[in-house]
Amino acid sequence: MAESSQASAKKNAQTREMRDAFGDTLVELGNLYEDMVFLDADLHTSTKATTFKKAFPDRFYQVGIAEQNLFGLAAGFATEGFIAIPSTFAAFASRRALDQLAISICFPALNVKIPGSYVGVPTSRAGASHNCIEDIAVMRALPNLKVADPGTGAELAAVMRRSLETPGPVYYRVTRYGVPELFDDGYEFEWGKGVTLRTGSDVTLVGTGVMTHRCLSAAEALATQGVQAEVLHMPSIKPMDSELLRRSAQKTRCVVTAENATINGGFGAAVAETLSESCPVPVYRIGVRDQFVESGGVEDLFEAHQMQPRHIVQAAKHVMEMREEMSSWLVHT
Amino acid sequence: MKLTEDMCRELRDRAFEIRVLSLEMITYSTWGHIGGSFSMAELLAVLYFHAMDIDPNQPKWENRDRLILSKAHGSPGLYAALASRGFIDRDRIYDYCEPGGLEGHTHTESAPGIEASGGPLGMGLSVSLGMALALRRKENPRSRVFCIMGDGELNEGNNWEAAMAASHYRADNLIGIVDYNKVVAKSFLWEAMSVEPLADKWRAFGWKVIEVDGHDLQEIATAVHRARWIEPNGTPTVIIAHTVKGKGVEQAEFNYKWHTHAPDPATADAMLRELCRNYDKPERGYSRLAESSTKESFYGGE
């Protein structure tokens, strides 16, 4: 009995939802930054910002179900020198309040840090309206806005800390999902810096957010088949670590990307854009393929959208074949 | 709050100057909104030369009053007021809509005294409320946040989210001003989407309402005084200023065809002379008429 609950506790620690790290880190930062104000659009128990509400009730503004006003208020607070955190689901941050975000906040580069909660496939069973797949594509199109998709709880905390130290607007994703921790507590996130989690020379797997963990699983499976995959983790989507990407692509000459979002204009697209300008190699993007993510269980949805580790394995083999095919083009030309 | 004769004369001159500078900048840039700049000229004159506590030499002075132009396409009017008040050099108006110059719609980086970036309509009241709440946090009881809204942009839902929140948060340091000129970009407001009964709407959202003739300097000054010093006791106040779009130049008045319409230099010259006559000023035409032929032509673009 004791052993079983111990095992369960360990499992919980490993797979603690990232939104719990969000709630804890908010309080940590609230203690450090007295000029940080939190604005909530009636979702604090879902986003786990209740921690901040309890710790700093005077700095917690409930704005009701009004996301456009949420972002306008954030702009006003930031204009007056506060660090404003407008909090809602990513779907509403990137869709309902996009104009406010773009012109009231990003254009004047105001000090607003935006957590987008409930991102991608693993959210709840709420369906297409709430499973936000377009935020990476939308947010990375906005000038002055930095964009991050942290892969674990510790990294989310590191992104949040760095965001508070970073002038100007920042958008980061908060996933309602737990993955085994990859980083220790001293881990520091840097804008424009990726992390090499595994070295290899046959194929590069580049993940962002929680998909990096699936890239690692895929790399293990590939290793059993004699394929040595290099695994890069890119929590900083904008700016992107183009140098790390280029170096790896020069070595492996084929790349698979993986993101918990639509591939249209998203992270994989950003990687492909970067590589096409510096080191053109075949790139295959794992992610949601021009579909809404409807209601369903988490693993069922990862399966339905072909975002399991085995799909990354298949994609790796596909780009390796493309690389060979492209070599033959070069021979004939 | 009775304006002295001298102050009335001064404010009338400033309203005239705001119109002249607006027209000069719109004509020279070949783009801009005459109608909405002219309709609020008296409002801007009273605010920038009488009512607001501001210092052009310290545009970020903490205890200043703030003004957000939610109808940010009225930027020529606001830039003109800032130039007239000494926040920016007058020659800068000829950089309107030029790279690195005064941005087409208001932008904080364009000029000192611009408190918010804008353009998409219906967003300024939220930003203003955020500033008003922030002033409360900073324990600044004196500064007020003025937000000039267009009447047409009250079709936007975001305004009413902000209106609801302002009374919820008892933001009586926020003063809304509606430039109710009854004309939108392509038609009369009542044809496009009526906002009536407008005063009742604001009252229903928990605001105090003062209605004025938006070209009567004394009425405006009294209303702003009331909104600032008499009404604040836990509710925000809105001044509904009944105005005439394009006020000051006959062909632009109450005419949606002059919402976004830059006059060609000859028309601008005639308009400026008409303005001078209306204000009993020595007749003076478009100052850059001579060089206008070298300017890329985009006159009248909507």
Domain borders along chain A are: 8-174, 195-332
Residues of B in contact with A74 (CB under 8 A): 130
Coil, helix or strand at residue B154: helix
Question: Looking up tokens 């702003």, which residue turns up?
Answer: B224
Determine the pLDDT at residue A179. Answer: 92
Cα–Cα distance for residue pair B15/B33, rounded to 1 Å:
16
Question: Contact B96/B102 with Cβ under 8 angstroms?
Answer: yes
| Alpha carbon distances (Å) from A177 to A161, A171, A285, B115, B296 | 20, 18, 22, 40, 57
Total domains present in chain B: 1
Across the interface, which of A76, A81, A103 has its CB nearest the CB of B118? A103
Residues of A in contact with B135 (CB under 8 A): 80
H or E stretch at B237: strand B237-242
Pick the residue of B65, B114, B123, B164 with the most A CBs within 10 A to test the interface with A by mutation.
B123
Tell me if chain B has a CB within 8 Å of the CB of A100: yes
Cα–Cα distance for residue pair A83/A77, rounded to 1 Å:
7
Is A82 in Cβ contact with B134 (below 8 Å)? yes
Cα–Cα distance for residue pair A50/A212, rounded to 1 Å:
29
Residues 6+ apart with CB under 8 A from B29: B94, B96, B97, B98, B262
Determine the pLDDT at residue B294. Answer: 53
Is A81 in Cβ contact with B165 (below 8 Å)? no
Asked whether residue B302 is assigned to any structural domain, the reply reads no
Is B130 in Cβ contact with A73 (below 8 Å)? yes
CATH number attached to the domain at A8-174: 3.40.50.970
Cα–Cα distance for residue pair A150/A213, rounded to 1 Å:
11
Coil, helix or strand at residue A127: coil
Alpha-carbon distance A181 to nearest alpha carbon in chain B (angstroms)? 38
User: Same fold for the domain at A8-174 and the one at A195-332?
Assistant: yes
Cα–Cα distance for residue pair B198/B111, rounded to 1 Å:
33
Residues of B in contact with A76 (CB under 8 A): 116, 126-134
Number of inter-chain CB pairs under 8 A, A vs B: 99
Question: Looking up tokens 């000054």, which residue turns up?
Answer: B221
Determine the pLDDT at residue B274. Answer: 97
Is B109 in Cβ contact with A72 (below 8 Å)? no
Alpha-carbon distance A75 to nearest alpha carbon in chain B (angstroms)? 6
A85 residue type, one letter: I
pLDDT tens, N- to C-terminus, chain B (302 residues): 799 999 999 999 999 999 999 999 999 999 999 999 999 999 999 999 999 999 999 999 999 999 999 999 999 999 999 999 999 999 999 999 999 999 999 999 999 999 999 999 999 999 999 999 999 999 999 999 999 999 999 999 999 999 999 999 999 999 999 999 999 999 999 999 999 999 999 999 999 999 999 999 999 999 999 999 999 999 999 999 999 999 999 999 999 988 888 999 999 999 999 999 999 999 999 999 887 655 555 555 54
Report DSSP letters for B207-227, one per residue.
-EEEEEETT-HHHHHHHHHII
- Tell me which residues of chain B, numbers 256 to 285, contact chain A at a CB-CB cutoff of 8 Å: none
Instruction: Identify any residues that bridge with A112 across adjacent strands, giving them in sequence order.
Output: A84
Count of Cβ atoms closer than 10 Å to residue A139 Cβ:
30
Residues of B in contact with A69 (CB under 8 A): 126, 129, 158, 161-162, 165
Is B158 in Cβ contact with A81 (below 8 Å)? no
User: Which candidate, A212, A193, A226, places its Cα nearest to that of A259?
Assistant: A212
- Low-confidence residues of chain A, pLDDT below 50? 1-13
- Which chain A residue's Cα is nearest to B133? A77
For A175-291, list the strands marked E by DSSP. Answer: 195-198, 203-207, 229-233, 236-238, 255-262, 283-288
CATH of A195-332, one of 3.40.50.920, 1.10.287.130, 3.40.50.10240, 3.40.30.10: 3.40.50.920
A221 residue type, one letter: A
Q: Which domain holds residue B189?
A: 5-294
Is B138 in Cβ contact with A79 (below 8 Å)? no
Residues of B in contact with A100 (CB under 8 A): 120, 123, 126, 158
Is B126 in Cβ contact with A68 (below 8 Å)? yes
For chain A, list the strands marked E by DSSP. Answer: 36-40, 60-62, 83-89, 113-117, 146-148, 170-174, 195-198, 203-207, 229-233, 236-238, 255-262, 283-288
Question: Looking up tokens 């001293």, which residue turns up?
Answer: A186
Determine the pLDDT at residue A70. Answer: 98
Pick the residue of A62, A92, A104, A144 with the most B CBs within 10 A to test the interface with B by mutation.
A104
Instruction: Identify any residues that bridge with B291 across adjacent strands, giving them in sequence order.
Output: none
| Alpha carbon distances (Å) from B140 to A14, A85, A195, B127 | 47, 22, 46, 17
The ipTM value here is 0.96
Residues 6+ apart with CB under 8 A from A303: none
CA atoms within 13 A on the CB side of A131: 25
Determine the pLDDT at residue A7. Answer: 44
For A214-289, list the strands marked E by DSSP. Answer: 229-233, 236-238, 255-262, 283-288
Determine the pLDDT at residue A327. Answer: 86
CATH code of the domain covering residue B237:
3.40.50.970
Question: Contact B292/B286 with Cβ under 8 angstroms?
Answer: yes
Determine the pLDDT at residue B297. Answer: 54
Residues in chain B: 302
Is B116 in Cβ contact with A108 (below 8 Å)? yes
Residues of A in contact with B132 (CB under 8 A): 76
Tell me if chain B has a CB within 8 Å of the CB of A84: yes
